[in-house]
């Protein structure tokens, strides 16, 4: 018998198919340090065991986006090795904290299929779940990708497009956060006195700093996640391809934007859910990433007096500062925009 | 209310002001590994738990300069975000060993202010202290930086320049080192048989090796320290600035020179104090760093028969080998010199 | 007295000489994470504590090649600082598992010497052993290097070339692997259902993916191993040298090829022995590494019903895909080949 080294093509997916992904992964303080070196995040809860313990965690939890990338990485060999484009995310929820020493694995279910009219590719919708070593779900999200067909002649499945929520319900947002000991939260050490009540819907925040990305950086990050998508690593082939160069993993931009967002959102310490995300344009090494955010909504969470939820749109750009909040002109994104991310972050009340 | 994302300007500092810096940080074996990968240090005490235990440590302590960079990084958002230049260090003392699992935080006090004659900037003197999770001071140092004024019209404070020691007194040097079990120190494993008595004042040592610095390397290092100084990370803005490129964090040069100094100073395992340091010229990616040292002084330490102190001047250069010990011609530094560091290192007797 | 900072020349070696190398090194989960970030390996046994425990390990063991690089790195300052070329490896055996927290040290014995006919250099054969903190040998291998003479006039020693096995005997291969609990091995999580009986002698496997190497990556890796060979780090000198640029440590190619070999050899989880290895051509940053393997032999291991041994030749190339298995034309290697490695890997039966 042979392994499926060529990856799955559109014809290989069936509605309802369940894929148990390979390579469980124990996360450690080593991963945390390398992630810090790559993104420089400064949220105190994830940075210091002492800070985390004082507010009710057993120790500093692992950065939410690192958890996302690890789970996402596992799904790549089975779902997106033959992807043309990563089209979107929805209904992404962080459901339990992850700590150094935990081992993550991932399972996906095909929840939608739709052939494209050109018959050369189709869209595959998968719901992926990340589990810890106890079997608890730590992450649950839907992603859809455009995948090549092996053959144009292959018959199309019945189109089946899942109905997806345009946002995660605020009532379900706090599962990965213990009840906070509010008095233990030191706003000086956290870097800001702004909390839930200090943000207004419609407020825009320029995150100010810029971060230039090097080839070695995004490669080290993406290998750390055991993500095997070839476009990120292989200059020999990509040099002859669409862009003439390696394409940076879209998740790298999300992590950069999240780290930059500390400037203005220092207490929004937990990404609780991603309502949707769009990689508007590709990022290449040598470019500098900037970001800004808009507060789209503010919601209290039932039975949680300790924390509230801010719905944020974070926009990342390349080689363009964000003091004037570049976004769209009509339907078109500003040409510098590379990421449009809609998510819920939790913040003390 | 708003956060002070723009950083402090010269007018914002007051004599005696105490600043509790943000983002406590738990250091781990992950940080140690990444620091090793970035600098390749070979001092046995920091490299091996077994070696450290045999001489009286509970385990391998964290490299002194990594401790320095972590504490320094915390001070940047509050003290030097609007700095024009980092002018100097003095009276820097390492006061307790730091181990993986320890959490560091930092507090600074403004101890001097002097407006420049052009009225566009001023010099701010701060004494910064790093604390571990038990509240013990692990590091104490003075730094002075030239900081922009928000407005030329702002009134000048009374000039107040602190009197600083030109060197740390040798009697106070050994606080971060337990009494050594001298018999446990294996000079073969340490890489050299030279100890305190084998060095003479005036001796010069070429550290021989050269290390080329890449953009990804200094960025990963500097983010690891959560140092947010913009000049290190933002090619888009720096490309239009003074040097046309990103400026490497001066501390990166210190760590490189310290790692290189193993060649000739293998048993000088602990940086106990920094008497003064000057970043003579900037370093940019692509340059190769070399270093040499001169023994400026040798001092016994009261009540410590186990270790002695070598006062060292370590000079780092860029793109110039150090076999002829390049330093100064008259008052002027050799154009290749980038660092002139004066410090005490401890070494077995 | 002075240290031998210039390294040993051919005249400095004597047959039977035993060299205890400097700088013991405690390996940690930090090293594991950084190694993962640099190579992206996906073998489940090394990736997840849970997977390792289910088959009988106390926790995930450290990647075999990381162990090799750490031990190799220690030998460099004493054996190959003045090397012209690393000529070969033989009889390399991994003899005990290494776990995070273990401390490695190394000792070498000179087992052969032969002056070259030009009298400017000679070949030095050393048997090097890596030990853990309990004194157990974890790695044992022979390496021979061409080393410069200090002076052409120095008298030649009697030529003494050791007789080396052309392969490690299969009967001795399983010492670093506990008896596997076969039922605990989850082939889905491991990424492949192919086991010992599914491979045939003569089978060739294209590992498909390509990995472009950046200067920062190989420098970080090689410093992590405390390998001080100057050619890898010093662009200032190498820019004026043989190749005009830094030469990538040959072991970097081995680690890349090993990580790539997951595609097709996912269950071959342990490199048990290296029969021989040749760095056919140098690798430089910017090149993309590909790899393929041939099954040279299959052997059962006495008293081990749980695992079998595959003898593999893994060929790595630069900037050339391996779908047609590039190797040799007559005696000459294909110009793209950079590594020809002959080793035993263990795989469940």
The candidate with the shortest Cα–Cα distance to B194, out of B139, B141, B261, B250, is B261
Whether pLDDT at A2 is above 80: no
Place of tokens 């459901």: A95
Mutation to test the B interface, candidates A27, A31, A32, A42, most B Cβ within 10 Å: A42
What own/partner pairs with CB < 8 Å and gap ≥ 24 does A152-161 have? A152/A119, A152/A120, A154/A10, A154/A11, A156/A115, A156/A119, A156/A122, A157/A14, A157/A15, A157/A113, A157/A115, A158/A113, A159/A113, A159/A114, A159/A115, A160/A15, A160/A112, A160/A113, A160/A114, A161/A112, A161/A114, A161/A123, A161/A125
Dihedral sign for Cα A329, A332, A338, A342, please.
positive
Residues from chain C that touch A78, judged by Cβ atoms under 8 A, are none
**Considering only residues 181 to 240 of chain A, which have any Cβ-Cβ distance to chain B shorter than 8 Å?**
188-194, 198, 208-212, 214-217, 220
Q: How far, in Å, CA of A85 to CA of A116, rounded?
A: 13
Q: How far, in Å, CA of C317 to CA of C256, rounded?
A: 11
b/e per residue, A276-310, with b = 16+ CB within 10 A?
bbbbbbbbebebbbbbbbbbbbbeebeebebbbbb
Q: What's the pLDDT score for residue B180?
A: 96
DSSP 8-state class, residue C230:
G
With beta carbons less than 8 A apart as the criterion, state whether B56 and B178 touch: yes
- Of A23, A34, A228, nearest to C33 by CB-CB distance is A34
Is C135 at the interface with chain B, CB within 8 A? no
Q: What's the pLDDT score for residue B1?
A: 40
Q: What's the pLDDT score for residue A142?
A: 98
Q: What's the pLDDT score for residue A82?
A: 84
Taking the mean position of all CA atoms in its chain, how far away is CA B249?
Answer: 11
Taking the mean position of all CA atoms in its chain, how far away is CA B120?
Answer: 28
Q: What's the pLDDT score for residue C1?
A: 40
Place of tokens 């011609």: B329
With beta carbons less than 8 A apart as the criterion, state whether C33 and C66 touch: no
Residues from chain B that touch C1, judged by Cβ atoms under 8 A, are 193-194, 198
Place of tokens 């014995």: C109
HSE, side-chain direction, 13 A CA sphere, residue B159 = 10
Residues from chain B that touch C23, judged by Cβ atoms under 8 A, are 42-44, 47-48, 189-191
Output the CA–CA distances (angstroms, integers) from residue C60 to A138, C43, C63, C116, in the order listed: 22, 10, 9, 45
With beta carbons less than 8 A apart as the criterion, state whether B161 and B256 touch: no
Q: How far, in Å, CA of B67 to CA of B80, rounded?
A: 19
With beta carbons less than 8 A apart as the criterion, state whether C289 and C349 touch: no
Does C219 contact B198 at a Cβ distance shorter than 8 Å? no
Residues from chain B that touch C77, judged by Cβ atoms under 8 A, are 191
Residue C107: enclosing H or E segment and its boundaries? strand C103-115
Q: What's the pLDDT score for residue A314?
A: 98
Does A33 contact C31 at a Cβ distance shorter than 8 Å? no
Residues from chain B that touch A42, judged by Cβ atoms under 8 A, are 22-23, 226, 228
Q: How far, in Å, CA of A142 to CA of A163, rounded?
A: 11
Q: What is the largest CA-CA distance in chain B?
A: 65
pLDDT, averaged in runs of 10, over chain C (349 residues) = 77 96 98 98 98 98 98 95 88 98 98 96 97 98 96 93 95 93 96 97 98 98 96 96 95 98 98 96 98 98 96 98 96 97 98
Residues 6 or more apart from C343 whose CB is under 8 A from it?
Answer: C92, C271, C272, C273, C274, C275, C277, C311, C312, C314
Is A285 at the interface with chain B, CB within 8 A? no
Neighbours of chain C (3+ CB pairs under 8 A): A, B
Whether pLDDT at B200 is above 60: yes
Does B33 contact A33 at a Cβ distance shorter than 8 Å? yes
Q: What's the pLDDT score for residue B47?
A: 98
Output the CA–CA distances (angstroms, integers) from residue A293 to A87, A258, A273, A276, in the order listed: 22, 10, 16, 15
Beta strands in chain A (DSSP E): 18-20, 25-26, 83-94, 103-115, 121-131, 137-148, 204-206, 211-212, 270-279, 288-301, 304-318, 328-329, 332-333, 337-348
For chain A, state the CA radius of gyration.
20
With beta carbons less than 8 A apart as the criterion, state whether A44 and B24 touch: yes
Q: How far, in Å, CA of C238 to CA of C342, rounded?
A: 30
Q: How far, in Å, CA of B127 to CA of B147, rounded?
A: 16
Q: How far, in Å, CA of B41 to CA of B268, rounded?
A: 12
Whether pLDDT at A43 is above 60: yes
- Of C37, C211, C217, nearest to A234 by CB-CB distance is C211
pLDDT category, A84, cuts 50, 70, 90? confident
Does A25 contact C38 at a Cβ distance shorter than 8 Å? no
Is C132 at the interface with chain A, CB within 8 A? no
With beta carbons less than 8 A apart as the criterion, state whether C314 and C339 touch: yes
Q: What is the DSSP string of B34-62?
A: HHHHHH----HHHH-HHHHHHTT-SSPPP
The candidate with the shortest Cα–Cα distance to B143, out of B97, B169, B111, is B111
Can you name the residues that pair with C346 across neighbouring β-strands?
C270, C309
Taking the mean position of all CA atoms in its chain, how far away is CA B300?
Answer: 23
CB atoms within 10 A of CB A188: 12
HSE, side-chain direction, 13 A CA sphere, residue A37 = 37
Is A317 at the interface with chain B, CB within 8 A? no
Does A24 contact C30 at a Cβ distance shorter than 8 Å? no
Minimal CA separation from B39 to chain C, in Å = 7
Q: Which tokens hold the place of B255?
A: 């760590």
Is C33 at the interface with chain A, CB within 8 A? yes
With beta carbons less than 8 A apart as the criterion, state whether A94 and A271 touch: yes
> What pLDDT digit, counting tens, does each position of A288-337 carry?
999 999 999 999 999 999 999 999 999 999 999 999 999 998 999 999 99
- C125 three-state secondary structure: strand
Mutation to test the A interface, candidates B7, B19, B21, B25, most A Cβ within 10 Å: B25
Q: Which tokens hold the place of B72?
A: 């320094």
- Of C31, C101, C228, nearest to B33 by CB-CB distance is C31
Output the CA–CA distances (angstroms, integers) from residue B82 to B124, B240, C247, C259, in the order listed: 11, 17, 40, 45
Does B214 contact A211 at a Cβ distance shorter than 8 Å? no
Place of tokens 């039932």: A302
Q: Is the ipTM of this complex over 0.95?
A: yes
Global confidence as pTM? 0.98
Q: What's the pLDDT score for residue B4?
A: 73
Does B221 contact A39 at a Cβ distance shorter than 8 Å? no
The candidate with the shortest Cα–Cα distance to A69, out of A110, A32, A17, is A32
Q: How far, in Å, CA of C106 to CA of A113, rounded?
A: 57
- Of C191, C212, C319, nearest to A233 by CB-CB distance is C212
- Of C34, C49, C214, nearest to A26 by CB-CB distance is C49
Q: What's the pLDDT score for residue A1?
A: 41
Taking the mean position of all CA atoms in its chain, how far away is CA C236?
Answer: 28
Is B17 at the interface with chain A, CB within 8 A? no
> What pLDDT digit, counting tens, does each position of B259-315 carry?
999 999 999 999 999 999 999 999 999 999 999 999 999 999 999 999 999 999 999
Q: How far, in Å, CA of C2 to CA of A336, rounded?
A: 59
Residue range B161-179: mean pLDDT, rounded: 94
Q: What is the DSSP string of A187-255?
A: HHHHT----GGG--TT-EEE----EEPPHHHHHHHHHHTT---GGGT-HHHHTTSSSSSPPPPHHHHHH
């Amino acid at each position: 018998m042979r392994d499926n080294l060529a990856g799955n093509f559109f014809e290989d997916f069936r509605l309802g198919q369940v894929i148990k992904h390979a390579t469980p992964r124990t996360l450690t303080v080593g991963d945390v340090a390398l992630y810090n070196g790559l993104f420089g995040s400064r949220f105190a809860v994830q940075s210091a065991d002492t800070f985390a313990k004082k507010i009710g965690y057993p120790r500093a939890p692992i950065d939410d986006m690192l958890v996302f990338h690890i789970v996402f990485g596992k799904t790549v060999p089975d779902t997106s090795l033959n992807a043309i484009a990563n089209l979107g995310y929805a209904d992404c929820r962080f459901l339990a904290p992850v700590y150094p020493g935990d081992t993550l694995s991932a399972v996906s279910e095909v929840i939608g299929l739709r052939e494209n009219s050109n018959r050369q590719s189709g869209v595959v919708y998968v719901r992926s779940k990340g589990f810890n070593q106890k079997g608890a779900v730590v992450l649950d999200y839907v992603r859809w990708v455009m995948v090549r067909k092996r053959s144009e002649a292959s018959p199309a499945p019945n189109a089946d497009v899942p109905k997806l929520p345009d946002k995660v319900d605020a009532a379900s947002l706090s599962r990965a956060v213990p009840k906070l000991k509010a008095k233990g939260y030191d706003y000086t050490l956290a870097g800001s006195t702004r909390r839930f009540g200090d943000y207004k819907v419609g407020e825009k925040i320029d995150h100010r700093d810029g971060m230039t990305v090097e080839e070695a950086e995004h490669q080290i990050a993406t290998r750390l996640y055991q993500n095997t998508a070839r476009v990120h690593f292989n200059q020999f082939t990509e040099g002859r391809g669409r862009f003439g160069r390696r394409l940076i993993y879209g998740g790298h931009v999300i992590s950069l934007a999240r780290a930059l967002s500390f400037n203005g959102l220092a207490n929004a310490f937990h990404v609780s859910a991603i309502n949707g995300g769009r990689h508007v344009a590709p990022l290449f090494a040598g470019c500098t990433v900037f970001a800004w955010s808009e507060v789209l909504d503010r919601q209290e969470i039932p039975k949680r007096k300790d924390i509230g939820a801010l719905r944020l749109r974070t926009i990342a750009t390349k080689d363009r500062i964000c003091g004037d909040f570049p976004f769209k002109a009509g339907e078109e994104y500003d040409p510098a925009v590379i990421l449009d991310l809609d998510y819920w972050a939790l913040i003390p009340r």
